[in-house]
Structure 1
Amino acid sequence: VIVDDGSTDETGRIADNFARGVRWLQVVHRVDRGFREAGGGVIEAFDDGFAHIAMLEWDFIVKLDGDLSFGPRYFETLLDLFENEPSLGIGGGDVYSVKGGAVELERQPRFHVRGATKMYRRACWEAVGGLLRAPGWDTLDEVKAHMAGFSTRSFPQLRVMQHKPTGSADGTWRNAVKNGRANWIAGYHPLFVTAKCTRRIFRRPYFLGALGVLTGFVQGYLSQTPQVEDRELIRYLRRQQINKLMLRPTIWR
């Protein structure tokens, strides 16, 4: 299922032309909402697509962004990894993008699977209960998976090229602020956010990214932006974060 989320370019027409004569391919067109909605918008689009296959028999479901490329055996290899690890609930490849003319790995914790490319085992999907329409959804689904006894992982042997780097639509500062706001909404522990910002001081763009994350988090607190309603989820996430700060075993390993 290809979801055209109100594109104002030729995306919809290209998808329709490609789908002609392909029985297993369906294009879903959504009306342009006229604004960007961090987190919630992409899940609305996904849910619209999922509604067209929800009643079918399936063992795995994949969420993919439209700006990715990968090798011809990507899904075959990923399915083999799921088969060899019955506890694996969410998996995907490492995401790369071109920055400054060089191909760079978009670093993340090993338990994290980028929102652009996620494969879910059905039992895990049902335990997670679908995706939250909120910033940080692509971490919260993994936390819920671990709460249910599943593992989540990105695999370095699977390379995915993202042709539009994460956050490029917003710019460095706005993307950092958005990230901090997402951390607030997801219920991150303030000490963990402080440590995260301290670490980011020494990463490019120096200081700017750290200040943006802290700004977004504090703005969320001061405005009392609603957080996710699952308090058990927040408590579990915060315990994991404190354990990481204390160098104890966590989902971060």
Structure 2
Amino acid sequence: MDTNKLFQDIVEFFVEYNTTKNKIALFKGGLPGAGKSTSLHFKEFSHLNPVIIDVDEIRKLLPNYTGKKEDSAQTQKTAGLLASMLRNYCIENGYDYMLDSTLSTPQNVAVELSKAKKAGYKIYVKYLYVSLNESLTGVLLRYYQALLKGETPRFVDYEYIKQRYKSLPEAMAECINYADNVQVLNRRGEVIIDINNLVHTDNTEFKQNIFVGKVNELILRYEENPQWDKVFELAEKAGDLVTALEWAKRKKEDFGVLNSHSQKNLLKI
């Protein structure tokens, strides 16, 4: 695959705006399956025409993209590389841009936000917070719904989600080192945490400690509305019940019980 040729095609596909004087970078973060694309909005910046950098949309443009589980790791890597190239292109040419990403490891946050900061961008971050159950079931529901509709599915590996869930509080806190504001929202679009309203201080470390504490409170509180039964139903229709059951079993082993009905389904393995 000619990566440079593919990148030029992606630039032509995504970039259609002029450069701006007051450069702004918008970042959407959250776990896979959270619903970032549909639930997170920057209405306060509706006057902008940013270049939208969405790894999922880039993945669909790959010539070898199939959506199959066995190909997910490679397509994730290639799409991520092309997204980084597109981000660099925006920064080098002064485009406003919006990056739709998980932003779920401190290292990833530092790389993404520091580049924009050094280039003189104003940076605004919004995280969509969901529980681990909601992330896992969201990914599986999306996958099985696509299969049943005859569409190309999008699969994300369980281990990938698990690791990002565990590092999420620290990743969110890392944003404070670079961003002009960081907000955490729920799926209803309600702001749960706004760092600029939460703490009025220039002490970054203090801000981070308060922020992590609030995020950890969310983790304890937001284990809500698991949809495992719906997942099992669609998985059976799609002829891939084993994957759904395996994920549910691993989630139970790694993080604790599911709802009572779903635990009965684990006996099928």
When you count strand as a share of all residues, which structure comes out higher? 1
Q: Which has the higher helix share?
A: 2
Using structure 2 for the length normalisation, give the TM-score. 0.29
Greater relative CO (CA pairs within 8 A, separation 6+): 2
